[in-house]
Chains A and B, each alone.
Chain A
Amino acid sequence: MLALDGVTVSVPSGTVCALVGRNGSGKSTLLRVLATLVLPDGGSALVEGHDVVDDDVAVRRCVALVTADDRSFSLRLTGRENLELFAGLHGVPGDAVGEVLARVDLAGAAGDVYATYSSGMRQRLALARALLTQPSVLLLDEPFRALDEVSADTLRSVIAAAAEGGATVLVATHHLEELGGRCDRAVRLEAGRVVADDDLAGWCAEVAP
């Protein structure tokens, strides 16, 4: 069985593109291929002109991935300490950590141990990690899953700001409404194939708050 089969999608800069489809339709796999975490068997994928197989280091310089998995931080470290590790790995100055924590409303909990964070706080910390590197391509895999309404609004603002700043944003989601109208396009996947690719400009204008 192929996780992705003949998928052809091109997403221009400054665009928010939703990936929708049932569980197992290939949304997460597509994001993970673009993040260079999964090696495709065939075909090609370019991120900012860099091939995900042959030029994966360059791809990782411009991509950030946020997943719904909250197991990607050290439980015994604080939120700030966790982000300081990733700042170090990405060559980002340490003072950027405080800024991104503030952007996701975690400044007050920065010194708390990660193990004490709620699911929503963990999700926001993952978002903060993605923002650390100011990525030109932001990949979000079910980012609204654990968020309350206030946190979801923060995320929508981050998505909108990223797109307005020229970043490409791909969001895998089951509910387009979660994007609150901040979505330019929706690509529907079924069994690893693209079955629909819709311009959502009109729909977004209707649902935008």
Chain B
Amino acid sequence: MTTRRLAGAFLRRDVRIMRSYRAALVGQLLGTLLFLASFAVVSPIISEDFGDRYGAGYLAFAAVGIAVTGALLSALQAFSESVREAQLEGTLEAVLMAPVRREAVVAAMGAYPVLAGTAAAGLTLAVAAGLAGGFDVHPVSVLLALVVSLAAFAALGLLAAAVVLVAKRGNPVATLIGMVGAVTAGAYAPVDTFPGWLQAVADVNPLTYALDAWRSATLRGEGPGAVAGELGVLGTVAVVVGPLAWWVLGRAIDVARRDGTLVSY
């Protein structure tokens, strides 16, 4: 109840602020769609048996990669970027005066970026489905993939927020995972086409499992049983990292309070 109230308050604020940046919002959406269009241009030169091997044409394959990577990296960066913005703007201390656990305030601050990233992903998939077709969606699997993958990446995102509170710098953890994560997870090309050492990197990248689950659920219409393995890995990340991140975040807030540097940047 409290978390929903906090999230609602931040959501209203952030929607209002984003409405004052309409051009930036439109530019962001256009950027994603142009990125998608560039894959539409190259998709005809991809070998014809791609669909047979991976269950969908290349454009649909890449669209899921772009959409899911965008949504999950938004969740990964949501909390750290919200904390960073609040540090720079000077509002962090004021919002942390709310009479609730401060970890809950930081978690609620990420509500808008997580929802906006998810909405942008939905739009990307809808446009790709309209352009290329080839989607075979299993709604229950999609719902499970959405909830479990967002939970896993939000948990990692809370850890990134803890780093920002102490380091007073951007989010190095999230940036690193974002930069190498999308490519090594197979967002734009199938992992089995990678050299062996890169496939080994993909194996320890949670985004790989999220993309596999999402592609099974949206391109091949596979039910929950078929994605259970990938969702199991992501669920384990959420269950293990979530409470750990909550604890680390609390300690990071205490370190900043002890140093008197909550608003330093």
Contact = CB atoms under 8 A, between A and B. Distances in A.
A75 B6 CA distance: 20
Interface stretch (B97-105, B127-135, B182-190, B193-201): B97-105
B98 A39 contact: no
Interface stretch (A77-85, A103-111, A179-187): A77-85
A58 B5 CA distance: 18
B94 A129 contact: yes
Given A57-B99, A89-B6, A81 B91 contact: no
A41 B257 CA distance: 10
Contact residue range for chain B? 20 to 34
Contacts of A81: 13, 16
A38 interface: yes
Contact of B258 (A41, A65, A73, A129): A41
A90 B98 contact: yes
Contacts of A32: 260
B203 interface: no
B209 to A, nearest CB: 35
Contacts of B192: none
Contacts of A77: 13, 16-17
A76 interface: yes
A74 B13 contact: yes
A35 to B, nearest CB: 7
Bin the interface of chain A by size: 20 to 34
Main SS class of interface, B: helix
Contacts of B260: 3, 29, 32, 38
Q: Please indicate which of the listed interface residues B8, B89, B97 has the most CB atoms of chain A within 10 Å of its own CB.
A: B97
Q: Which of A37, A89, A91, A129 has the most CB of B within 10 A?
A: A89
B106 interface: no
B91 A72 contact: yes
A65 B97 contact: yes
A155 to B, nearest CB: 19
Contacts of B12: 84-85, 88
A74 B161 CA distance: 20
Contact of B99 (A60, A69, A85): A60
B95 A89 contact: yes
Nearest to B7: A88
Contact of A91 (B5, B97, B254): B5
A71 B101 contact: no
B93 A37 contact: yes
Nearest to A130: B97
A36 B98 CA distance: 11
Given A29-B260, A89-B6, A76 B98 contact: no
A38 B257 contact: yes
Given A38-B258, A88-B8, 15 more contacts: A3-B260, A37-B97, A41-B258, A60-B98, A71-B89, A72-B94, A75-B89, A77-B16, A81-B13, A85-B12, A86-B98, A87-B9, A88-B12, A89-B9, A89-B100
18 contacts: A35-B97, A37-B97, A38-B257, A39-B258, A57-B100, A60-B98, A61-B99, A64-B97, A73-B91, A75-B89, A77-B13, A77-B16, A86-B94, A88-B6, A88-B8, A89-B6, A89-B98, A129-B94
